[in-house]
Amino acid sequence: MKADAVELAIIGGGAAGLFAAATARARGVGCVVIERKARVGSKMLMTANGRCNFAKDIPAERMLEDLGEPVAGFARNAVEACPPAAIAAALRDCGLRIRRMEDGRLFPASGKAADVVHVFGDLLREGEVPLLVNAPVEGVRREGDGFCVELRDFALRAGNVLVATGGMSFPKTGSVGDGQAFAKALGLRVEPCRAGLVGYNAGDRALSRLAGRRYESGAWARVEAGGRVVCRYEGEVEVEAWGVSGAAVYNCSRWVARHRPRGFTLRIGTPDGEFTLVNPEPRPLKEAIVTVGGVSLDEVDPRTMEARKVPGLYFAGEVLDIDGPTGGYNLSLAFATGALAAESVARRTRDAGAQKGMTENGPRVRAVRNLDGERVRRRGRGRI
Ligand SMILES: Cc1cc2nc3c(=O)[nH]c(=O)nc-3n(C[C@H](O)[C@H](O)[C@H](O)COP(=O)(O)OP(=O)(O)OC[C@H]3O[C@@H](n4cnc5c(N)ncnc54)[C@H](O)[C@@H]3O)c2cc1C
């Protein structure tokens, strides 16, 4: 007999939702992906200027160190279970050719983010995972032991729900803060959303004379607050007509967004001189690479990604109050938390099944096509 509720409804077909869907399918969990936009992975397509720096080739421990607290403490279980090497291996197993940069950043060898999104498209198709597009979810309600996922014209019943609706930057990609609203409506605390990894407006005349210059080497940015240097990054600095951007500046902005000092000074060093900006104004959240803030980490069990107060409700990716520096950390976080949520649902549904005297006999992903159209047979019931 067919069940009248899907085991897992995944809201959001971005990095976290897609990785979760592939993992859930490989674990035999029946799931559906519900995506607001006409296609999945819109934000992934624009990452690293369309090249998709999906991870950094470093051990889990180093990744956690770079994430810093409170993100590292929360993400430890997810990152240890699905470190960058596992993400790369999973994508490689699915036929993606990978290019490693000298500093360890990983990209598809083609330089096309679309190839990463295609891997997930193939996995979902081969696994026959139902995908609803043009389908903005409007609300999530508890109903009996499970949930009612409300869309405009109909509703879906689900035993478990994974909210993977992303942060609030680049709202045209579909991430507009719905997941944070669902969390609030279900009684969970949400930290205010603000721009992380973003540039700063600057009125500095000397700096504005360099507008249009991009320094890839010999440049740095640092933040001083409370009379000491709180962070310093070497790397790209770009001088814009409105101010400064580039990886070194972005990473500084992440520190400021997370720690919210009363006042701070941003110092920029370039081969053409040093510049000081006092309490510069960050660019708006809609332009940020990542959102700082989101579903409070206290509300979610880091061992499972399940809401502590709402059994069966899971969160993954940027909808949570997690963020990382530039360099592939944010996609890795989305993938790893998505995988952990799906694994947890698999465990939960298996336990529930065992209690009812059922045995696990889930379908498995049979094969995937690589990007040249060849079929790549999968070994066993792999992660994705
Ligand atoms: C310009 C730019 C460049 C970046 N470059 C990199 C990079 O190179 N490396 C890196 O690691 N990170 C990068 N990032 C960050 C990274 O893209 C995000 O952290 C990551 O995509 C977050 O994944 P997610 O699945 O949580 O959210 P998203 O990828 O934003 O996916 C959320 C999905 O949920 C859908 N959704 C939202 N609300 C609803 C609803 N109500 N109903 C149904 N669906 C809904 C959205 O349409 C969207 O498809 C970049 C970000 C930007 C903006």
Q: Determine if ligand 1 sits within 6 Å of the CB of residue 329.
A: yes
Q: Determine if ligand 1 sits within 6 Å of the CB of residue 289.
A: yes
**Nearest residue (CA) to ligand 1, atom 23:** 15
**Nearest residue (CA) to ligand 1, atom 24:** 166
pLDDT for the residue numbered 357: 57
Q: How far is the CA of 258 from the centre of ligand 1 (A)?
A: 19
Ligand 1 nearest atom to the CA of residue 174, by list position: 47
Mean residue pLDDT across the chain: 92
Q: Is the pLDDT at 361 greater than 60, yes or no?
A: no
Read off the pLDDT of residues 23-82 as tens digits, 9 standing for 90 and up.
Answer: 999 999 999 999 999 999 999 999 999 999 999 999 999 999 999 999 999 999 999 999
Q: How far is the CA of 173 from the centre of ligand 1 (A)?
A: 7
Q: Is the pLDDT at 112 greater than 80, yes or no?
A: yes
- Is residue 207 very low, low, confident or very high in pLDDT (cuts 50, 70, 90)? confident
pLDDT for the residue numbered 4: 84
Read off the pLDDT of residues 219-271 as tens digits, 9 standing for 90 and up.
Answer: 999 999 999 999 999 999 999 999 999 999 999 999 999 999 999 999 999 99
**Nearest residue (CA) to ligand 1, atom 30:** 166
Q: Determine if ligand 1 sits within 6 Å of the CB of residue 330.
A: yes
Q: How far is the CA of 374 from the centre of ligand 1 (A)?
A: 29
Ligand 1: residue of 52, 147, 330, 333 to mutate (most ligand atoms within 8 A of CB) is 330
Q: Determine if ligand 1 sits within 6 Å of the CB of residue 336.
A: no
Q: How far is the CA of 43 from the centre of ligand 1 (A)?
A: 5
Orientation angle between helical segments 329-355 and 60-67, nearest 10 degrees: 110
Maximal C-alpha separation, the chain: 73
Q: Is the pLDDT at 370 greater than 60, yes or no?
A: no
- Is residue 171 very low, low, confident or very high in pLDDT (cuts 50, 70, 90)? very high
**Nearest residue (CA) to ligand 1, atom 6:** 47
Closest CA to 343 of 6, 76, 78: 78
Q: How far is the CA of 212 from the centre of ligand 1 (A)?
A: 28
Q: How far is the CA of 39 from the centre of ligand 1 (A)?
A: 13
Q: What is the pTM (predicted TM-score) of this model?
A: 0.92
Q: Determine if ligand 1 sits within 6 Å of the CB of residue 77.
A: no
Q: Determine if ligand 1 sits within 6 Å of the CB of residue 17.
A: yes
